[in-house]
A and B are shown apart, each in its own frame.
Chain A
Amino acid sequence: MTDFSGYPLPDNCPEAGECIRVERPEPGLAVVILDPPHRSLAVLDAPLIRDLDAVVEDLEQDTSLNGIVLTGRAPGQFAAGADIDAIAQLTDPKVIEKMVLAVHELFNRIEDLKPRTVAAISGPVPGGAFEISLACDLIVASDDDKTRIGLPETQLGILPGWGGSHRLPKRIGLPLSLDAILTGRLFKARVAWKRGMVDRIAKPEYLLEVAKDIAMGRKKLQRKHRGWKAWAMDKNPLMAKFIASQARKTIMKKTRGKYPAVLRALDMVIAAPSESRESGARKEAIAIAELASGPVCKALVSIFKGSEAAKKLGKGPDGWKPSRIEHGAVIGGGIMGGGIASAMADRGIWTRICDLSADALDAAVMDHRKDIDKRKRRRRIRQHQANEALDHLDMTLDSNTLGKSQVVIEAVAEVLPVKQKVLGGLAEIVSSDCIIATNTSSLSVTAIANDIPNPERVVGMHFFNPVKRMPLVEVIRGEKTSDEVVSATCALALRLGKTPVVVKDVAGFQVNRLLAPYLDEAMRLFVAGADPSRMDRLMLDFGMPMGPFTLIDEVGFDIALHTGTSLHEAYGTRFTPCPAMNDGLGENRLGKKTGKGFYVHPKGKKAKPSLATDLAKFQTETWANKLNNAELVDRMVLSMVGEAARCLEEGVTENAQMLDLATVFGTGFAPFHGGVLGYADSVGTTEVVKRLNIIAASPEMTDREGGVEKFTPAKILIDLAASGGKFRV
């Protein structure tokens, strides 16, 4: 028996032997079924590993066996991989290393079993679940839409540590295994089969029978060997070096080296083809011990858990499910409206987009088609799927034809009376239980809902631009919005492939309320003499997807100013916008849309923007240029942290986890920091308070309107600092 002490047990841990069933349907065959009573989907957690160890010991001693099948308890259920909660809890590298090695030993024993072992897998088969399959002689996957196979560990800041980093490259070679491991993609059964990740596919109804036949030798199946390719590519040092350098370049470009796990995995996979089983296991264990106990992994796991929590928002707490939306409408054919309508049509909602302008509608429909054509060209979808997406979007000038809608999303001009009028008119056309969602970014949902009959169905649904790419939707609960409508709206966001975060109806909601002080601070530092390209680079290095000035150019000066002013009205002096913002940078200079802002944006797809040459004339002071890098970053980032703490205090989102999720998915705030509050935790709340106080006391802040208020730490932050506590537990 292997020693698994120290591996955290789940709360509802079952008795020994309960997690795995072994059936003997015929002489010489054992079917090992992962069937833990305490999990809805099997997880390779401590009790299951413990029981598996015992089962393998039995199988090793049974000389009557010819074949063994390893499978899940039902079609579509194999296992979900390693225990994420345990990864989040483990902090001692020594314990982690020991645990990983113990599992390696167990998997090696499975690999060494004399009878033919066949894994029959279906449903999600990520990470550890696939790694245990790789230890079997052959893998048969269920050929249906729900099967997803892969090694997504790097997305959680670790790497495949139960043999996956070695067994997969040995099985399918370097290029394909790098693609699988470094991207963490999950593959459909057929693709996985074509790539050699599994040996055969079978329809779910036949899966188990086929696996049994293969295990007993009644159906012949042999693993494909890479043959000469293994020598020419995988074990050829020149080739390996070339592949490695190409892969490294791509990774550095995408991640700026902020994710150690990916680089670590790259090195490991490149060396894997010539590695022995034992030294491979040791290398994996050491890497996991370092990575899993490190901050990046903890941050990524916390985001993963946050998005898992967000997925539950589409249901009521009692398991109540909103009815499925078949018909929807979008009012306003602008970029946002068009994007939302297109996303809805893509997800099979019969969508009508309505606008007063035929030109706007034409543009919206044309963009939808362009997007479909692109996917078709790239073979992401087939012709009939393209037709389906096409057919689900219709346009109309007449709002009277929207009567069937179960949800209406409004994306018209950000003017309260306009929105009230449009939605008021709609309320008379649609049924009284049709969800009326407003895609506002700055107006109060409660105010919009005020005069609408049945205001409990009015909700805010704040999408981000571009709709197709931005993963977050802020679902805003107005004063009268019902819980059912909030759940149904979250369910809709999830159906559109977005992550919903429920936010209180406060000015700027969550994301803009945090972005505004950050951009404002960047703007002030620029006016005070700091170089915009330097600040952009600093924030990129910090881990933001783009620098603040690139972002202002992207958003547009007018929008940034509009947001800044409305937040100032709502929150008072601490949101006083930088006076330079009022004047902008001059006539017709609004950023990317006019071709010039902080940067000059040349036309054409490949042309790169360059810093405008006439910026010096807007800089009235010089002191900011003397600040060092850390000080510059602190002023920008801590302005966000300070406001985030106030948001948490006010309960703008449900909890710190959701707030951080909103910052990561909405602002792109460095995921490896785990979000704004996660970043504060990693710096230490005491340190954050200290730094905030220093900034607040600086002469620049005491001189400027609202400066001190902006950087004065909130009570919750001071309390946490006093006790040395953290936002995220």
Chain B
Amino acid sequence: MVHYPKSENGPSIVLAAGIRTPWVRAGGAYKDEDAAHLGAQVVRELIARTQLDPSTIDEVVAGCVGNPFNQANVGRVIALRAGIPRSVSARTVARNCASGIEAVTSAITHIQAGLGDTYLCVGVEHMSAYPLTFGKKMTGFFERMMKARSPIAKLSTLMSFRPTWLAPTITLVEGLTDPTTGLIMGKTAELLARDFGITREDADQFACESHNRAQAARDRGRFKREILPMIPLGSKKRRVEHDDSIRDGQSIEKLSRMRPYFEKPDGVVTIGNACGITDGAAALLICTEARAKELGLTPLAKFRSWAWEGCDPERMGIGPVHSTATALDAAGCELKDMGVVELNEAFATQVLACQRAFDSDEYAKKKLGRDKALGHLDIAITNPNGGAIALGHPVGATGARLLLTTAHELQAGDHELGLATLCIGGGQGGSVVLERMS
């Protein structure tokens, strides 16, 4: 358990500004992009908009799950490509799907420890570039070929080759599979559906609502304040201005036609009620309130508390309930005080499972060690602009978007408090309570 309560005498830390690229389906418009280019572009824009002197940044912290194999420490590559002076250090952090928030909480911890007051946090993921790799047998074959000196040795090695070795390992699938339990993420969502009795109809209904909300939010220009339009590398068409996996006019009928993907034939998780594989990057400026004032910025929100908690890896989707309990305690408030909640939609069943667990006295007693349920999670205020099912889930970047969207929603909806939370592969939850600037 790690958590941060807003201490009385510590500095007040704020989300001073933020921006993100449109979230784009993997293999789509960003297929020729690379993580550092996406990240650097939002960082440059953030610096230009805030007129921040980049040499005053204490550190750049990037969250990324699948660090590109050709951009080791992608945070540093982003910083350099964004024109941040070489003297400013940069690192990359990972906490699976929460890497984008991990970058921020790690920056907050540093500021609290007295290590500077200005951090540039990035969440970035380019899932299009997750490679296919050769298996052990094939790499072994390559090795033997290289070591074979004489023509005869070479020939005999060559003879040992078997075509089945060419079958690649899909790193994307491997990455989405929990190595300790052997369950792919979709199956953990199926498990939660069974645990909490969530039906296919419930899940499709939720997914449909996500798309409809996202469509409405996009159409009324709600995302304009957080999205930087991009001309993708290699694109011959116009700029991308919106998240491109929102399905206009999504209906329950259309969703109900899809077949279960992970557990056939009786499963409830389909491609339609799960989040998509997506590319994207977001940049956030995290600093003390005093520093923001010095820069002449009006911060988007203040950090009230945050928490990381562990749970059952086979039921990783329930993580938000665990971390939110801690974060709310630390913030000294309750679930009903939240004006808006951004709960990442890895799977519709997983969000609904969280809702039921929040509501359940039994779950509270058994798993959280409390007498009473945390309270009711009102779906009306949860993901009011749609969530990952509609927008997509570029794993390393999502956390940053949740914070950014929540902060903007505090202002747009005139709320006092907001909660950004998400489940994390491997059985964890992360929650951040944000407070509107007074």
Q: Judging by beta carbons under 8 Å apart, are B231 and A365 in contact?
A: yes
Q: Which chain B residues (73-93) contact chain A, with CB distance < 8 Å?
A: 81-83
Task: Say whether A401 contacts B49, CB under 8 Å.
Answer: yes
B37 touches A358 (CB 8 A): no
Docked complex: B224-242 residues within 8 A CB-CB of A: 229, 231, 233, 235-236, 238-239
Chain A residues near B324: list those with CB within 8 A.
none
B183 to chain A, nearest CB (A): 39
Q: Is the CB of A362 within 8 A of B239?
A: yes
Within 8 A of B (CB), among A156-211: none
A510 to B49, CA, bound (A): 40
Knowing A358-B239, A362-B239, A394-B44, the reply to whether A387 touches B49 (Cβ < 8 A) is no
Interface residue ranges of A503-549 to B (CB < 8 Å): none
Q: Which residues of B contact A (CB under 8 A)?
A: 36-37, 40-41, 44-45, 48-49, 51, 81-83, 229, 231, 233, 235-236, 238-239
Chain B min CB distance to A354 (Å) = 11
CB distance from B352 to the nearest CB of A (A): 40
Given contacts A358-B229, A362-B238, contact A394 B45 (CB under 8 A): yes
CB <8 Å contact, B37 and A387? yes
The reply to whether the CB of A278 lies closer than 8 angstroms to some CB of chain B is: no
* With A352-B48, A366-B231, A401-B48 as contacts: A391 and B238 at CB distance below 8 Å: no
- The residues of B that contact A388 with a CB separation of less than 8 Å are 81
Q: How far is the CB of A88 from chain B (nearest CB, A)?
A: 45
B231 touches A387 (CB 8 A): no
Any B CB within 8 A of the CB of A396: yes
A591 to chain B, nearest CB (A): 27
Closest to A401 in B: B48
Residue of B whose beta carbon sits closest to that of A397: B229
Given A362-B231, A394-B45, A396-B48, A387 and B81 touching (CB < 8 A)? Answer: yes
CB distance from B81 to the nearest CB of A (A): 5
- Please state if B231 and A350 are interface contacts (CB–CB under 8 Å): no
- Are A350's CB and B83's CB within 8 A? yes
- Is A73's CB within 8 Å of the partner chain B? no
CB contacts (< 8 Å) of B36 on chain A: these are 387
B44 and A369 contact, CB distance less than 8 A: no
User: A391 and B40 in contact (CB under 8 A), knowing A362-B231, A362-B239?
Assistant: yes
Across-interface contacts of A398 in B (CB, < 8 A): 49
Q: Which residues of A contact B236 (CB under 8 A)?
A: 366
**Taking CB as reference atom, which chain B residue is nearest A358?**
B239
Given contact pairs A362-B239, A394-B44, A394-B45, enumerate 10 new A-B contacts (beta carbons under 8 Å).
Answer: A350-B44, A359-B238, A362-B238, A369-B231, A391-B82, A392-B83, A394-B41, A396-B48, A401-B45, A402-B48
Q: Which residue of A lies closest to B236 (CB)?
A: A366
CA distance A369 to B49 in the complex (A): 24
Given A350-B83, A358-B239, A387-B81, A394-B48 contact (CB < 8 Å): yes
Residues of A within 8 A of B82 (CB): 391
B residues in contact with A369, CB < 8 Å: 231, 233
Bound complex: CA A403 to CA B83 (Å): 16
Do A404 and B51 contact each other (CB < 8 Å), given the known contacts A358-B229, A358-B239, A369-B233?
A: yes
Least distance between B413 CB and chain A CB atoms (Å): 25
Q: Give the chain B neighbours of A366 by CB distance below 8 A.
A: 231, 235-236
Report the interface size for chain A: residues with CB under 8 A from the other chain. Answer: 21
Knowing A358-B239, A365-B231, A390-B37, the reply to whether A404 touches B81 (Cβ < 8 A) is no
Closest to A405 in B: B48
Q: Which residue of A lies closest to B82 (CB)?
A: A391
Cβ–Cβ contact B233 & A404, under 8 A? no
Q: Mark A382-400, 1 if CB is under 8 A from B, else 0.
A: 0000011011101110100
Greatest chain A CB density within 10 A among B37, B41, B231 is at: B231
**Chain B residue with Cβ nearest A429:** B51
20 contacts across the A-B interface (CB closer than 8 A): A350-B44, A350-B83, A369-B231, A388-B81, A390-B37, A390-B233, A391-B40, A391-B41, A391-B44, A391-B81, A391-B82, A391-B83, A392-B83, A394-B44, A396-B48, A398-B49, A401-B45, A401-B49, A402-B48, A404-B48
Task: Tell which of A352, A391, A395, A403 has the most Cβ of chain B within 10 Å.
Answer: A391
Which chain B residues lie closer than 8 Å to A392 at the CB level? 83
In the complex, how many angstroms separate the beta carbon of B420 from the nearest chain A beta carbon?
A: 27
Q: Indicate the member of B36, B83, B238 with the most A CB atoms within 10 Å.
A: B83
Q: Given the complex of chains A and B, what is the CA–CA distance between A352 and B238 in angstroms?
A: 18
Task: Using CB atoms, name the residue of chain A closest to B49.
Answer: A401
Chain B residue, CB-CB nearest to A395 = B231
A339-376 CB contacts (< 8 Å) to partner B? 350, 352, 358-359, 362, 365-366, 369
Whether the pair B239, A391 counts as a contact (CB closer than 8 A) is: no
State whether A403 touches B44 (Cβ < 8 A). Answer: no
**B224: shortest Cβ distance to chain A, in Å?**
11
CB nearest to A369 among chain B residues: B233
CA distance A369 to B231 in the complex (A): 10
- Closest Cβ of chain B to A209, distance in Å, is 32
Whole-angstrom distance from the CB of A133 to the nearest CB of chain B? 38
How far is it, in angstroms, between the C-alpha of A366 and the C-alpha of B229 when the chains are bound?
14
State whether A403 touches B231 (Cβ < 8 A): no
Give, as a whole number of angstroms, the nearest-CB distance from B296 to chain A.
11
Closest residue of chain A to B81, judged by CB?
A391
Residues of chain A within 8 A of B37, CB atoms compared: 387, 390-391
Q: In the docked arrangement, what's the CA distance between A402 and B47, Å?
A: 11
Closest B residue to A326 using CB positions: B83
Which residues of chain B are near A387, meaning CB under 8 Å?
36-37, 81
B163 to A: closest C-beta gap in Å = 33
Known: A366-B231, A369-B233, A391-B37. A403 touches B51 (CB 8 A): yes
* Complex: A171 Cα to B233 Cα, angstroms: 45
CA distance A391 to B37 in the complex (A): 7
Bound-complex Cα distance A166 to B185 (A): 74
Top 9 A-B pairs, shortest CB-CB distance: A401-B48, A391-B81, A403-B51, A350-B83, A365-B231, A362-B239, A401-B49, A394-B44, A362-B238
Contacts of A401 in B (CB 8 A): 45, 48-49, 51
A350: nearest residue on chain B (CB-CB)?
B83
Cα–Cα distance between A362 and B236 once the two chains are bound (Å): 10
Q: Given the complex of chains A and B, what is the CA–CA distance between A13 and B77 in angstroms?
A: 54
Residues of the A chain whose Cβ atoms lie less than 8 Å from the Cβ of B229: 358
Q: Which chain B residues border A359 with CB–CB below 8 Å?
A: 238
Tell me, in angstroms, the Cα distance from A394 to B37 when the chains sit together: 12
B231: A residues at CB distance < 8 A: 362, 365-366, 369, 395
Smallest CB-CB separation from B45: which chain A residue? A394
The smallest C-beta distance from A54 to any residue of chain B, in angstroms, reads 51
Residues in A neighbouring B48, C-beta threshold 8 A: 352, 394, 396, 401-404
Q: How far is the CA of A66 from the CA of B233 in the complex (A)?
A: 60
How near does chain B come to A399, taking the closest CB pair, in angstroms? 11
* A350 / chain B contacts, CB cutoff of 8 Å: 44, 83
Q: Which residue of A lies closest to B40 (CB)?
A: A391
Measured CB to CB, the nearest residue on chain A to B80 is A391
Q: Which residues of B contact A404 (CB under 8 A)?
A: 48, 51
